[in-house]
Amino acid sequence: MLVRVQNAAGTLAERVLIDWLRTWKGPQAPHGVAAVNCSLFFEDRLHQFDAIVWTPTACVVIEAEALVDRASGELEVPLNGPWRVGSQVVSLEGGERRPPLDTSREHTYALQSWLAQRGLGQRVVQGAVLVVPQQGVKLRVKQLWNDPYLQVVLGDRPEHLAEYLNALASLGRAQWTINDVAMAFRGLNILPYLPAPQDLIAEGFGGPVDVTLWHGGPQQAQAEAYLEEQWQAEQLATEGKRTVNMPWYSPWELYPRQSGDIDLGRTFMRVFLALGMLIGIVWLVWFVIAMLLQYGPV
């Protein structure tokens, strides 16, 4: 996982999220790129994202929240209203009065609509709220609603978030290409944090590469180097193929094959012309040999 942090806020939930994202390096770990503390100005409102994670198959807006209370048990999370452990209403770090789910829904909708205006409306944006309990507190999350596009993930250990992202990756085919990620970084004004094409390919992103999307950023040179490497590879592949250029009077030039069309007349003409040329060459060789035997030196 590639992690790009812009102006770290230093909250407990954010520190936990960054540490987990940076430790995902193995083959079984989630792959992608994460932009931490980025923002979007959409419809006259500034949306501050704790993190946006792009994987080859998904885009997830993550709201990271830490619990202040040390209550253990089952954390009930309604779609609207306060969160409770038993009869106790729990408080969140920062004293935010607004439910995190409301913030997550608004941010997810804003990013989805913003992408749609740029031709990426078919890319689904997921929303996730990462709840980080105090150390030593045992919690279970109980969602009081069912929405596959909005989930609450318990942040007591990194496996929970990794399993959530891996589950999204197993739902469908690749949706996010290298150019899609580059366009999103440019549009969110975080071009300086855009990884090089080589790094995105290593994280599993595919598709063609438009080098102009890296122009003006610190990875422009690496993007142009990637383009040069691709061109050289294509040249070597072309040179490795031996091509035979047929003369204009060749049967295959006079009566070429047409894709998607079976023409018996052209086929017969190619065969008869080729046989005629072969007979003519054999006759010419026989004539030369006969002349040498008849009039050549004894």
Whether 284 and 150 map to the same domain: the answer is: no
Whether 18 and 138 map to the same domain: the answer is: yes
What's the pLDDT at 245? 67
* Structural domain for 289, as ranges: 251-295
What's the pLDDT at 60? 95
Whether 13 and 117 map to the same domain: the answer is: yes
Whether 169 and 255 map to the same domain: the answer is: no
Please check whether residue 1 is in contact with residue 62, taking contact to mean a CB–CB distance below 8 angstroms: no
What's the pLDDT at 96? 64
Measured from the Cβ of residue 115, the count of other Cβ atoms closer than 10 Å reads 20
190 in a structural domain: no
Residue 244 backbone dihedrals phi, psi, to 5 degrees: -110, 115
234 in a structural domain: no
Which of 119, 143, 176 is the C-terminal boundary of a domain?
176
Query: pTM here?
Result: 0.77
Name the stretches of the chain with pLDDT < 50.
none
Whether 161 and 59 map to the same domain: the answer is: yes
Whether 42 and 132 map to the same domain: the answer is: yes
Helices (H), the chain: 12-23, 100-116, 158-169, 178-187, 197-202, 220-240, 251-254, 264-295
What 3-state DSSP class applies to 61? strand
Q: For the segment 159-199, what is each residue's pLDDT rounded down to a tens digit?
A: 999 999 988 887 766 689 999 999 999 999 999 999 999 99
150 in a structural domain: yes
Structural domain count, the chain? 2
Whether 73 and 167 map to the same domain: the answer is: yes
Token pair 């205006």 is at which residue?
117
